[in-house]
């Protein structure tokens, strides 16, 4: 990898604390993500992974510390970020088509620039073809499979031509073959985008990401994707069996 001092930082958190109703979500987290990194964020449920993404989006404000995205506050750069939340439930009978869901990504531009909004709408076909959902454009969103829905949601995030793509558990509800397809697509997108991805799937992401952050309210590790048993033990607070890099499986040891 290129040395950090030769790359542009695009996300910077410094000594960040975040709380929900007085309960800590993140404690003194400092993290820098560089241009065209592919960061995998792992950790247990309730460890603050989704909170971290929302801080980058400016949807959550830190109780202390600073968050800088693309050289400015998150509120000023949100339009330059694509976001794929955890799979949203769609009513099977709600009459919204795939192409309309993708174009919803353009709504943020309508208040600011008609030209940008028009360009965004024009790009919708390009990203639908890129994500392999163009043939589904007239299908009802609620009647798609889990994998099809995720590809549509990624297309919605890409239609704004983002510089950073944030994904929260993008493969949580899909089978193994679809999971690989999504990660292969993200690897291609990473040639031009910085990607930050939250996942519980430690083994599979280790085959695709460039760096890893281990988060459980505190940041226990951030760096190359070669993780030690000690790092994972601190993060998950229970033993984890490590299997050689390149094999897409890791399992938890039996524990009480």
Residue 42 clears pLDDT 70, i.e. is over it: yes
Rg of the chain, C-alpha, whole Å: 18
Q: Summarize pLDDT for 55-68 with one digit per residue, the tens.
A: 999 999 999 999 99
Enumerate residues 6+ apart whose C-beta is below 8 A from 143. 92
List, for residues 165-210, the tens digit of each pLDDT value: 999 999 887 888 888 889 999 999 999 999 999 988 777 677 889 9
- Asked whether the predicted pLDDT for residue 250 surpasses 70, the reply is no
| Backbone dihedral angles phi then psi of residue 160, each to the nearest 5 degrees | -85, 5
User: Was domain 4-252 assigned CATH 3.40.640.10?
Assistant: no
Do residues 55 and 13 lie in contact, with contact meaning Cβ atoms separated by under 8 Å? yes
SS3 43: coil
**How confident is the model at residue 99, as a pLDDT?**
94
- Model confidence at 253: pLDDT above 50: no
Q: How is residue 198 written in tokens?
A: 């939250």
Please determine, for residue 232, whether its predicted confidence score (pLDDT) is greater than 80: no
CA atoms within 13 A on the CB side of 208: 28
Q: What is the pLDDT of residue 231?
A: 76
Mean pLDDT, the chain, whole residue set: 85
DSSP symbol at 169: S
Q: Given a cut of 70, is residue 242 above it in pLDDT?
A: no
The reported pLDDT for the residue numbered 244 is 40
Q: Report d(CA 37, CA 196) in Å as an integer.
A: 8
Helix (H) or strand (E) holding 121: helix 114-130
Sheet holding 38-42, edge to edge: 81-84, 164-168, 194-198, 38-42, 211-216, 218-224
Q: What is the pLDDT of residue 120?
A: 79
- Worst-scoring range by mean pLDDT, 4-8, 58-62, 144-148? 4-8
Tally the C-alpha atoms within 13 A of residue 77's C-alpha that lie toward its C-beta: 19
């Amino acid at each position: 990898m290129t040395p950090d001092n030769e790359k542009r930082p695009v996300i910077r958190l410094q000594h960040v604390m975040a709380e929900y109703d007085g309960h800590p979500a993140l404690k003194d987290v400092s993290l820098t993500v560089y241009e065209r990194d592919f960061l995998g964020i792992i950790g247990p449920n309730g460890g603050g992974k989704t909170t971290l993404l929302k801080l980058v989006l400016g949807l959550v404000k830190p109780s202390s510390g600073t968050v800088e995205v693309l050289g400015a506050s998150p509120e000023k750069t949100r339009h330059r970020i694509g976001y794929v939340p955890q799979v949203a439930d769609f009513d099977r009978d709600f009459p919204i088509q795939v192409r309309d869901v993708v174009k919803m990504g353009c709504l943020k531009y309508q208040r600011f620039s008609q030209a940008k909004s028009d360009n965004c709408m024009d790009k919708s076909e390009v990203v639908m073809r890129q994500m392999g959902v163009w043939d589904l454009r007239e299908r009802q969103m609620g009647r798609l499979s889990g994998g099809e829905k995720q590809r549509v949601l990624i297309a919605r995030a890409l239609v704004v031509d983002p510089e950073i793509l944030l994904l929260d558990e993008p493969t949580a509800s899909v089978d193994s073959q679809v999971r690989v397809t999504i990660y292969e697509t993200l690897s291609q997108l990473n040639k031009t985008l910085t990607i930050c991805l939250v996942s519980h799937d430690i083994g599979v992401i280790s085959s695709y990401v460039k760096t890893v952050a281990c988060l459980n309210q505190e940041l226990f590790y951030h760096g190359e994707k070669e993780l030690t048993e000690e790092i994972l033990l601190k993060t998950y607070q229970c033993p984890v069996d490590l299997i050689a890099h390149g094999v897409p499986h890791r399992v938890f040891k039996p524990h009480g």
